[in-house]
Chains A and B, each alone.
Chain A
Amino acid sequence: MNRGIIILLVVLLFFSCKKDLIIVEGCTDQMASNWNATALYDDGCCLYDTIIPFQTTPYNIITPFGFPDMIIPENNPLTVEGVQLGEKLFNDPILSADNTLSCSGCHIKANSFSENNQYSTGIDNIEGFRNASALINLGWNTSFNWDGSVQTLEEQVFEPVTNPIEMHDTWVNVESKLNSDTIYKNLFKNAFNIDYIDSIHVVKAIAQFERTIISVDSKYDKWMRQELQLSPSELNGFAIFNSEKGDCFHCHGTEMFMDNDFHNNGLDANNFADLGRANITNNADDIAKFKTPTLRNIEFTAPYMHDGRFSTLEEVIEHYNSGGNYSPTVDPLMKKIGVGLQLTNTEKQDLINFLKALSDYNFLNN
């Protein structure tokens, strides 16, 4: 006890001898913007910056009747800001080298985001070799492009920007153009909280927009919702479609009217100009197989097949009606090669009338 008192006295004596000692007052909270490292006494003057956390508005997808849950990557959730930015980019020719061609240049809304030309023409007036796919209900696809070369929309968007026969740009150039645009700088800041626009966020935004291109309000859908009645011809076409008489449903089934799979539907017997899926897998069993397209809005996506060889739905039906051509990878579902469905003219027309009932005019026109 005595020892403690002695120490205390020595300390007091020491401080009392330091005549210049000043007890600095100020903000002692290190989290404050005016933190004073020399302050020994907090005088209550601390100031704090107001930090507004980065926020976006979630964009909610309502799963259509009979559809699976949409496939959305965890690292690219849909936001209102991202979708709006993606739509602007989709329609902006800034992504092409000479600023003349946008995504929407070959994927036209009135054609269910496909185009009527057999092949699309790039900025250097070079034609492609496959027909532009319709871009609807893509959020339920498990692979993209006719040969399924990529598994996500984000990967898919990367490709046309630099493809020499499409936009023929470079990502360095695209990034440079976008970063010198103050509007885009703000839009990317709002959507992704980034100060430098890079290719990754460009494809993320466009992929977000593409996932919102949903078409499920056709006459068929209204019939399913019991809002109207299909005509007798359309109903008969529906029965042909969904039975082995027409046998369309095995590849174009479910409410998505596609199966996310690859088939050789007997277009050619040999001398394949395009190996299709085999180009990706290097598997001979995949030669001449192509991804099944959706039949929604099929009335407006002519010409048909991966190479746009058929101009009309009548030609398409006639292909199946005559049985197609045998090749080693032709699908066993093409079970009457050379014989075909043998539908009557009335049945063929009924089938076409049903296919036209899959047109979603609200989507195409608004």
Chain B
Amino acid sequence: MKNLLSVVFLALILISCGSDQEINDTKIFLNFSHNVDGNPVSTDDLSHTNLAGENYNVLTLKYLISDIKLISNEKDHEKIIKDVHFVDLSDPSTMFIESDIIENGSYTLQFRFGLDANTNIADNFTNENFHTTMQWPQMIDPNSGMLMGGGYHYMKLEGSYNNDSTFYNTHTGPTMGMDYSFLCSFDVPININNSTNNLEYAIEMNINNWYGPEVVNLEPAIMMNMPTQMNLMMNGMMGVFNLQGLLD
């Protein structure tokens, strides 16, 4: 009997020592925020100026990010937070993601801006709230024989520029069969241990960074424009988003 008690006691000690493998109750909260060079987004005055010197406001901002996950810094595991998330500047309910419980470890946050080619297929998300507003018809141009668009926009950024009645549509997405989605990962360390409370972060988008350093002009239509889509992707990769810790 004494032997049995000793074995049980030792087993309890061993389990308690494995703290790195424990699952605690820590969650990650991601809040989406948007600014133009640090200023609040203007929906009225053409108070923003891009690298090309064009003045503009923002009337519509909708975008998709996908494969949102925490990657263990030891590269031994990943935690998917959400497969696809739709952000709509006019809908506060889209500005927030809550993860499941995250196990202890040190992580890096990563997501894809837009949808990759394997996912971005017409009618792949018919029951999602973004299906109608973000769809981008997937079809072969009967004249050129080339694939036009396909599946869903990555982003719809719209507003007025130069004067109130001139509109730009910065719409990004797959173009002529090319996948212009890209990965965003952040150096901000995310450490979770037994004493960690829920963690809250802001994913901040500086809208003006879509238009530089590669100069992108505000234009009414860019959907079939591969060089512009490429420049937008480059600008996006170079720093449209950053991650800011809010609470620990």
Residues of A in contact with B (beta carbons under 8 Å apart): 65-69, 232, 235-236, 238-239, 242-244, 247, 249, 253-256, 258-261, 326, 328, 330, 332-338
Contacts and interface: CB of A to CB of B under 8 A. Distances in A.
A259 B134 CA distance: 10
Contacts of A244: 169, 220-221, 223-224
How would you classify the secondary structure of chain A's contact residues: helix, strand, loop or mixed?
loop
Nearest to A237: B142
A242 to B, nearest CB: 4
7 contacts: A242-B149, A243-B224, A244-B169, A253-B137, A256-B132, A259-B133, A326-B164
A326 B131 contact: no
Given A236-B143, A256-B132, A335 B221 contact: yes
Interface string B131-146: 1110101010111000
Nearest to B59: A332
Nearest to A242: B137
Given A261-B133, A335-B167, A338-B165, A242 B123 contact: no
Contacts of B165: 326, 330, 337-338
Given A69-B126, A259-B132, 13 more contacts: A67-B126, A68-B126, A68-B127, A235-B142, A236-B142, A238-B139, A239-B143, A239-B148, A242-B139, A244-B220, A326-B165, A332-B158, A333-B167
Contacts of A337: 165-167
B114 interface: no
Interface residues of B, number: 30
A233 B173 CA distance: 27
Contact of A255 (B123, B142, B164): B123
Interface of B: 59-60, 122-123, 126-127, 131-133, 135, 137, 139, 141-143, 148-149, 158-160, 164-169, 220-221, 223-224
Nearest to B159: A332
Nearest to B133: A259
B132 A333 contact: no
B169 A335 contact: yes
A133 to B, nearest CB: 18
Interface centre among A236, A335, A338 (most CB of B within 10 A): A335
Contacts of B220: 244, 335-336
A328 B126 CA distance: 32
Given A239-B142, A243-B224, A244-B221, A332 B137 contact: no
Given A255-B123, A332-B59, A238 B142 contact: yes
A69 to B, nearest CB: 6
B139 A254 contact: no
Contacts of A232: 142
Contact of A249 (B60, B137, B166): B137
